[in-house]
């Protein structure tokens, strides 16, 4: 492990699993790109200490469910390192509103008053974006810079070294990213994306939350309390 890797603030179990990634050329290139963005005065979301929030909140050996997103929200004070989640005092985005609608229809849970999904992450729901940073006001602006290699490795490690996980793949992007997952080893739940453009094509009514808990219980594992309080 290099000095540069040791300086990275990352939850210990993930740091052990991912240590080799930080010295690879793609990660060095990504680090240089992010440095250039800052030098050019670009505002980057989420803040630096929240980029690895999903991993820091949900240790490798505690993951039970994986939800794959695409890239962080690019509006002020929204992104905090968990896919689909926003800070507590920020308006709930449309995709998350549809997630809450499905949660209510599936499990009868009340629709939460805020969009912070930290309570899921703390129970073992890994809320992982494929790309972990974005330029303020410019969606997808950090795609293709290296983050996808890093998060592919995260999915590979979970697939290979864990058993009986639930992967929720919403939309074609997440489904492509999750194509490697061993369906005999894990439960893979796929549906259209919860965005307003596609939610009515099959996201609403997918019952992924109850299906996840049913599977976990069948494996003698604790279910997720999906209610956001």
Question: In the structure, how many helices (H) and strands (E) does the chain have?
Answer: 9, 6
Q: Is 216 exposed, middle or buried (0-12, 13-18, 19+ CB in 10 A)?
A: buried
> Which residue, among 46, 23, 24, has the nearest Cα to 34 in the 3D structure?
46
Round to whole Å and give the CA distance between 222 and 229: 19
Q: Tokens at residue 189, please?
A: 């739940």
Alpha-carbon 10 to chain mean position: 16
Q: Is 71 a catalytic residue?
A: yes
**What string of DSSP letters covers 151-213?**
HHHHHHHHHHH--S-EEEEESHHHHHHTTT--TTTSEEEEE--SSTTTGGGTTTT--HHHHHH
Backbone φ, ψ for residue 46 (5° rounding): -75, 175
* Cα dihedral sign, 84-87-91-92: positive
Query: Which residue of the set 23, 71, 182, 225 is catalytic?
Result: 71
Q: Which residues are catalytic?
A: 71
């Amino acid at each position: 492990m290099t000095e540069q890797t040791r300086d990275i603030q990352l939850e210990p179990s993930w740091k052990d699993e991912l240590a080799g990634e930080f010295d690879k050329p793609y990660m060095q290139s990504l680090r240089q790109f992010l440095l250039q963005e800052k030098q050019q005065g670009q505002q980057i979301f989420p803040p630096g200490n929240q980029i690895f929030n999903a991993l820091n909140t949900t240790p490798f050996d505690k993951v039970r469910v994986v939800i794959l997103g695409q890239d962080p929200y690019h509006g002020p004070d929204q992104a905090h390192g968990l896919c689909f989640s926003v800070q507590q005092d920020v308006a709930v985005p449309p995709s998350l509103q549809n997630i809450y609608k499905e949660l209510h229809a599936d499990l009868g849970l009340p629709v939460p008053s805020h969009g912070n999904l930290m309570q899921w992450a703390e129970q073992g729901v890994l809320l992982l974006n494929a790309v972990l940073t974005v330029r303020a006001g410019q969606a997808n602006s950090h795609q293709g810079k290296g983050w996808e290699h890093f998060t592919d490795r995260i999915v590979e490690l979970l697939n290979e070294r864990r058993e009986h996980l639930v992967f929720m793949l919403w939309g074609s992007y997440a489904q492509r990213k999750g194509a490697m997952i061993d369906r005999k080893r894990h439960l893979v739940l796929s549906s259209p994306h919860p965005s307003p453009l596609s939610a009515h094509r099959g996201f609403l009514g997918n019952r992924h939350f109850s299906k996840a808990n049913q599977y976990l219980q069948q494996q003698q594992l604790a279910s997720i309390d999906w209610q956001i309080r």
